[in-house]
Amino acid sequence: MLLGLSIRDVVLIERLDLEFGPGLWVLTGETGAGKSILLDALSLATGARADRSLIRAGQAQASVTAEFEVSLDHQVWRIMSTNGLGEGPELILRRLVSADGRSRAFINDQPVSVATLQEIGELLLEVHGQHDDRVLLNPAVHREFLDSFGALEKTVAQVGVAYGLMTQSNDRLKAEREMTRNTDADALYLRHAIEELGNLSLQDNEEEALALERATLMNAEKISRDLAEARAALTDDRGLDSRLNGALKSLERASAKVPGVLDNIVAALDRALVETNEARVSIEAVINTLEFDDHKLEQAEERLFALRAAARKYNIDVNGLAAVRRDFEAQLSRLDNRQDHLAQLEKDAVRKHQAFLQAAKGLSAKRRKAAKKLDIAVAMELPPLKLEKAVFNVAVESVDSDKAGPYGIDRVRYLVSTNPGTPSGPLTQIASGGELARFVLALKVALARRGTTPTMIFDEVDRGVGGAVADAVGERLARLSHDAQVLMVTHSPQVAARAHHHLRVEKRTESNTAITDVHRLTHDQRIEEIARMLSAAQITDEARSAAVRLLSHTSALDKTGTAG
C-alpha cells in the first residue's frame, strides 16, 4: 500500500508531504482546487508520461516520491530482483522532470528506465476514473483478472510451459525442414544414379579387358592370315620343322662317328625342334579360337561404350565408377537418416501440440467455471448500484490454434447488457459514463479478494449519482478497502462519510500565486466539510446535522479508531 507521497513544485503544489495507511481515503474539495494534481503526481511517480507543463511556474524541475509497503510474496519483488533493485518490504519510487523536458526515474534511489518504473508502478497502483476504461478495453487484462479470480495462476503456468515446449519443437522442425527442403530431389537423383551404376555390374579393370577384346575381334581376320602364314612356315615341305628334322638326322649320323664331339649341338637342335613344335601347336590353338564374331564384337563395344558414357556423365574415369557408386550410397544413407530424423521431429511436434491443446482445453474449462462464478459475484454488486436490470457476462471464447499463446486458446471479454432484451456488448460500447464507472466498481469489488494491486484510486467514479446509489458506492469502496488500500476523489457526501480517512484539498493565493494545500481532517473538520458538500454555497445548521447523521451512520464500519 501507499505509505507516503512527497511532491515538490508540481503545478500548484509547492511542497507537500502526506502519509497514508490502510483503509478508504477520500479527497474532497472545491472544483479546481487541485485534487487531480495529486493523482497526476502519483501517476508520475509510478511511470506515467512526463510533461514539463507539470512543473510549477518559475521552477527548474518537479519531483514526486512515492513510498510503498508491499508484501514479500508480491510479484513486484521478482521484477525488482531481476533488475537488481533490492528486496522488500518497502519500496520507494521517485521521478524528476526538468524544465527542458528530460525525465529521470529512481527506485530505491537507484536510477532506472522509465519503462522499468512503469512496469513496477502498474503492479502497485491502479487508477480508475469516470472515463478510465483502459482495463476494461484490454482483453489481456480481462483474462488475467479472471485467472486471478479463479486462482488459475498455476494452471496458466503449466499451459505456458506446454506452449514453450511446443514452440521449441516447431522451431526445430522448421529449421530441419529448411535444411532438408531439397532432400527429396537429391534422394531421387541418388537412387537413380545408384540403380544406373548397379545395372552396369561394375568389375575391376574391365575397361582394359574390353578394349583388348574389341581390338582383337576387330582384327581377327587379319591376325588369322598372319598366323596361318606362320604355321605354314613351320610345317610345310620346306618349312622350319622339316629342315630342323633333316639337320638333326645328319648330326646324329655324324655324332656316331665321333662320339661326344657333337653331343651339345645335337641337344641344342633337339630343343629347338621341341620349341618349334610347341609354337606350332600354340598357333594351331589360337587359329582355332580366333574366329570373327560380329555379335560378340557388338556386345563388347556396347559394354565398353556404356562404361565410358557413365564415366563421362559423372566426370570420372571408368575405374572410378565403383567408388562413385559407393559414395552415392553413403550420401543416400545420410539423407535417409535425415528424413528419419525429420519424421521423428514431426511426430514430436504433433505430440507437443496435442499436449499443449490438452492443457489449454483444461484451462479453458476451469476459466469457464471461474467466469460463471465471477458473473454471479458481479451480479450481486449491481442492484445496490442501481444496475439491477443490467447483466454482466464474462465471455470465454476459443480462438484459432494459430492465435493461441502461452496463456492458452481463450479470448476473455467482459460483456454487459444494461436493459432487458438488449444484446450484450463490450462495456464501453454499451454502458454510459456513469454506468461504466459503477461496473468498474462492482468488478473491482468482486476481484479484490483475489488480489490485484495493493493500492487503487477511483477518480470521481460517483459522478452523476447521489442518494442511495452514492451511499452504495461508498459502502462498496469501504468493503473493497478491507482487501486493498483505496483512494477516492469524490464530490459525494455519502461517499466521503464512508471513508476511514479524509483529506481536503484547498487552493489559496499567496503573493499573487495560486498554491494548493492538502489537510487531513479531524472528526469536527469532517462534519464541516461534509456539510459544505451537502449545502454547497452556504453551510447551514441543517447541513451540519445531516453530516453528523451520515458520519454516525457509518462510524460503526471502523472500530480501529483510524478514521480522522
pLDDT tens column, 5-37: 999 999 999 999 999 999 999 999 888 888 888
Q: Which tens digit of pLDDT belongs to each residue from 348-361? A: 999 999 999 999 99
Calpha distance 198→192 (Å, rounded)? 10
Give bridge partners of residue 489 from the DSSP assignment: 27, 459
Per-residue pLDDT for 237 more than 70?
Answer: no
The mean pLDDT of the chain is: 83
Cβ–Cβ under 8 Å, residues 70 and 454: yes
Residue found under cell 639337320: 247
pLDDT classification of 112: cutoffs 50, 70, 90: very high
pLDDT of residue 165: 95
DSSP string computed for 198-244 = HHTT--TTHHHHHHHHHHHHHTHHHHHHHHHHHHHHHHSTTSHHHHH
Q: List, for residues 500-548, the tens digit of each pLDDT value.
A: 999 999 988 887 888 899 999 999 999 999 999 888 668 888 989 989 9
Cell of 30: 472545491
Characterize the bridge pairing of strands 125-129 and 455-459: parallel
> What is the DSSP code string of 70-131?
--TTSTHHHHHHHTT---SSEEEEEEEEETTS-EEEEETTEEE-HHHHHHHHHHHEEEEETT
Instruction: List phi, psi (to 5°) of 557.
Output: -70, -25
Task: Report DSSP state, residue 517.
Answer: E
> What is the three-class DSSP state of 382?
coil
CA separation for the pair 541, 379 (Å, rounded): 40
Would you say 173 and 346 are in contact if contact means Cβ atoms under 8 Å apart? yes
Closest alpha carbon to 13 in 515, 555, 541: 515
Q: Which helix (H) or strand (E) holds 140?
A: helix 139-149
pTM greater than 0.85 (yes/no): no
Q: Is residue 47 within 8 Å of 124, Cβ to Cβ?
A: no
What is the per-residue pLDDT across 390-436, written as a single tens digit (0 to 9) for each?
Answer: 899 999 999 887 889 999 999 998 888 888 878 888 876 776 666 77
Residue whose C-alpha cell is 486471478: 148
Contact at 8 Å (CB) between 62 and 96?
Answer: yes
pLDDT in tens, 309-325: 888 888 888 887 888 88
Q: Provide the H-helix boundaries in 415-466.
A: 427-430, 433-448
Q: Which residue has the cell 489559496?
A: 508
May I ask the CATH class of domain 2-130+418-557? alpha beta
Domain residue ranges of the chain, discontinuous segments joined by +: 2-130+418-557, 183-334
Range 236-251 average pLDDT:
76
Question: 162-190 pLDDT, tens per residue?
Answer: 999 999 999 988 877 776 666 667 777 77
Q: Is the peptide bond before 406 cis (omega within 30 degrees of 0)?
A: no
Within 303-402, strands assigned E span: 391-398
Which is nearest to 547 in space by CA: 559, 556, 534, 557? 534
